[in-house]
Amino acid sequence: MAGESPLNNRSDKLKSAITFVSEAMQADPTQDRAKVINKALVRFDLSPADSEFFLKHFSDQK
């Protein structure tokens, strides 16, 4: 469907990882974002597809 968020079809683990990174970065914006993201990938045991999606959309790497 047009206009539908790509997160609507993602796993609950992925949503939890996004929340984790967001809250961690809000609590301490000086943290290394890449380290926080990697911690989330491990902590929430994301699938390879979810990990790739997460890294593509939420890392600072372009």
**pLDDT tens, position by position, 44-54:** 998 898 899 88
pTM of the model: 0.75
- Which amino acid does the sequence have at 18? I
**Residue-wise pLDDT tens digits, 13-41:** 888 999 999 999 999 999 999 999 999 99
Element (H, E) at 50: helix 48-58
pLDDT at 54: 86
Measured distance CA(12)–CA(1) in Å, rounded: 20
Measured distance CA(31)–CA(7) in Å, rounded: 25
Measured distance CA(59)–CA(37) in Å, rounded: 7
